[in-house]
Structures are given as C-alpha cells and as structure tokens.
Amino acid sequence: MSERNRIAVIGAGASGMTAAITAARLGGEVTLFEKNDRVGKKILSTGNGKCNLGNTDFSIEKYYCEDRDKEKLRKMFQVFSVWDTISFFESMGLMIREKDGYLYPYSEQASSVLDVLRMELVRKNVTVITGTEIREAGFDQERGEFELSCAEGKTWRFEKLIISCGSPASLKKGEGHGGYELAGKFGHMTGKMVPGLVQLKSDEPFIRGLSGVRVKAGVSLVVEGEERARESGEIQFTDYGVSGIPVFQISRVAAFALEEGKDVRILVDFFPDQEQRPFSWQNRVRYETQADKTLEDYMTGMLNKKINMALIRRAGLKPGIRASEAGWEKIREMMSLCRSLEIHISGVNSMENAQICAGGVLLDGLSTELESERVKGLYFAGEMLDVDGKCGGYNLQWAFTSGYIAGSAAAGCNVREIFPDPAENPQEEEEEHSRIRIMEKADSREGNTIC
C-alpha cells in the first residue's frame, strides 16, 4: 500500500460509506469516522423505512444547484448514474425492485441497504471508527498531510481527506452543522441553507378546519404573483398548513422565496384530472338540477365535506342558504375556488422536520472530481454540498454519485477512465442497462410511491 494512499472519510452516511468503499476497492487504506455509535443511521428512516435509493426517471432537472454548477453536476451524473447505483448495490449482493421508476431494495427494508454497505466496509478492510466526532481538521503544509482530531484530543494523519458530514435536516435543533465548520476551516464557503422536502405553514384561519383531510390535488406555487412551480398528487392538510409529496417538491422554492421576504401563495386545484370546459358544463347542469338544496347539501357528493365547507365560507356564503338564493354568479365563483383555492404561505416547517437541507458548501471552488481547488487532496461528498434533489430517490442518488466520485478521485483514479461517459459509447450504455435486474414491475397504483 502506497504511503500516499491513506484516506480519511469523515461521516458514515450514504455518501461517506460509498466514498470509503470505492476508495478501498481502488486500493486505498481507508479510515471512516462516524460520530454516532453506528454508521448510516439516516438510511434506516428513508423511504418510510423502505429506502427509495434511486429513480430510473432521471434528468438533471430533478436537481437544484446554482445555474453555474449545472454543467458540473451533469458531468458528475454521467460518471456515476442511476444505472451505476444499481450495479454498485448489485455488486454487494442487494437485489433491487422498481416501482414506477422508483428503486427500492427487493426486501423493502432500508436495513438491507445499510447492511450490504456495512458488510462491504468490512470486506474491503475499511477501518470504521464510530462514536468519534472529528472536531478539528487542518492541512500540515510541511508534512503534506491532513491532521484530524476528535473532542477527546486524539489525532490522526492522512494523505487524503473526504468530508461527508451531511446536513442538519431531520436532526435536533442546532445539530448537523459540523461539516460546514470543517469546510470553513479549509476556506470553503457555505451558501444560504433552508429546509427542503418539508411541509408548508399557512396563517389562513380556514386551514385548521381542513386538518386531517387527504386529497388528490394540483398545487401551484406562486411567488410575488408569478407561478414558479407546479406539482400534483396527494396533499394532506394539517392544523398548521399543508403536507404531502407535491408540497415537499415545491417547498425549497417556497423556503428560499420566504427567506427573501417575498409573498408566497399556493393555488390548490381539487379537480386536477378534469378539463375546465366539461367541468364548467357539469357545474351548470348541477345548478340547473340541484339549486333548491342548501349549499351544504348542494356541495355534497363533490369533495370532502371539510373542503366543501371551506369553499362555501371562502366564497363569502353561508352553508344553510339555498344555492338558488346565492345565485348562479356566486355559485360559479365558488366553483372556481375548487380549481384554484389560494392559500397564503407564512413559512415552512423547521429543519428538524425536513428530509433534506437545500443549500450548503458551494460547488464553486470544487473540481468535477469534488476536489478542493484550495487544498489539494481534500474532497467533499453528499448532502452537505449545495445540491439537492426532488423527492423520489434523487437525494440518495446524489449521495452515491458524489461519494463514488470523491472516493475514486481520492484513491488516485481518473473517474472518467473507470466509468467512461455512456453518452460517448451508446453500446456500452445499452450493456449497462441490460445488467439491470428489475425484479418487480410497477405496482403503479397512484399514491403508492414513497418518498
């Protein structure tokens, strides 16, 4: 083993374990530090305990980063794509199943994903030091080595260092910032961070009345009067606001806009699968045939009772009056609220409730190999970087991609030589795809996908 191949990885999450395994497979002598008493704790809670580890419906548009970094990101996913994630896990014995593009361990147990990673760390002789938080890290110019030390004062020296400390998302308040502090010691800047894949809060008084309702809906995010994002799927009303996958998807855009003091609203369409014309026509027929009913009864049979009541009140009407009393124009106004109920957004839920943290260590200042341009031999990986993905396996994909790149580059390999750009070799890409064993075809009942 070369003296210059001693590699430290700080943080044993999805990205750090991938980096450690990759570096060790390529001949590195790897030590992996983890402050918790066991590795990969977060993986166990992913995908509602099933771990949605990737998605075959991949495009760079599933990710958020600075515009200037998009090309860098695109190149990185060419080096290690969703197909490489499948191969990587298959190489460790994990069987994978696909549901509508979403990838899960065949066992549907996140613990299987963690177990194969843990076993591979052992097989590749990675030294895993748990219960040890690295507090200080520096580069000794004279010796050309990184020096790490933990809270207890113990120190270690390495030729290469990978920092993959994750983010504060889903941790207790105040926790999870250590990685940014270490990055800062090497002169790496951290951009603004907000909770991502998180619930939205609303100060609208009617929200409480809707608490507990789950409904399929279209959701548009409007910032300062301009539509910025649109999603659909099942949303859930809570006593403080709105949750559900479509809400998670738009939350980071809402969070950044709120940070900037902008006006943020969502427009909820309770009939996302209905064309406007037939919908309007049906409404007219309803009025012609049901106008003798009270508004409460008039709305019965359309939507959840709590939503019906909220819409009646929102239109400035009383549930006890007859539809004919309200008149067609007012009824039409109320029905238009079904397609576009405006809800003012006052905030997003806290980082402790978020699945990811949007923002982080800036990619500017890092190469495509995720090596620091300030300190040679220093690499970063995972969620602590200023890249975040949508819900659907994209964040773990980023953890694996960035971990693979940092690990192989730290081990001294040219990542492009190991995984040639598939776009340059379509036949190879085809072979790569054919290696995929998709064990179960989509059980594509709507709402079955797990984030």
Q: Which positions lie near ligand FAD, rule CB under 6 A?
A: 10-16, 33-36, 41-42, 45-47, 51-52, 133-134, 164-166, 169-170, 178-179, 355-356, 382-383, 393-396, 399, 451
* Residue with smaller CB distance to ligand FAD, 28 or 54: 54
Q: How far apart are CA 83 and CA 99, in angstroms?
A: 15
* Residue with smaller CB distance to ligand FAD, 36 or 350: 36
Q: How far is the CB of 295 from ligand FAD (least distance, A)?
A: 41
* Residue with smaller CB distance to ligand FAD, 2 or 444: 444
Q: How far is the CB of 161 from ligand FAD (least distance, A)?
A: 12
Q: How far is the CB of 385 from ligand FAD (least distance, A)?
A: 8
3-class secondary structure, 318? coil
DSSP code at position 366: B
333 is written with which tokens? 């106004």
* Residue with smaller CB distance to ligand FAD, 34 or 204: 34
Q: Which residue is nearest to ligand FAD (CB)?
A: 13
Q: How far is the CB of 175 from ligand FAD (least distance, A)?
A: 9
Q: How far is the CB of 46 from ligand FAD (least distance, A)?
A: 3
Q: Where are the alpha helices (DSSP H) in 359-420?
A: 394-410, 415-418
Cβ neighbors of 260 (< 8 A, separation 6 or more) are none
CB atoms within 10 A of CB 299: 24
- Residue 27 to residues 20, 410, 412, Cα–Cα distance (Å): 11, 11, 9
Q: How far apart are CA 267 and CA 338, in angstroms?
A: 10
Q: How far is the CB of 442 from ligand FAD (least distance, A)?
A: 17
CB atoms within 10 A of CB 432: 17
Concatenated DSSP letters of 219-273: EEEEETTEEEEEEEEEEEE-SSEEESHHHHHHHHHHHHHHHTT--EEEEEES-TT
Cβ neighbors of 297 (< 8 A, separation 6 or more) are 290
* Residue with smaller CB distance to ligand FAD, 52 or 251: 52
Q: How far is the CB of 48 from ligand FAD (least distance, A)?
A: 8
* Residue with smaller CB distance to ligand FAD, 34 or 386: 34
* Residue with smaller CB distance to ligand FAD, 253 or 451: 451
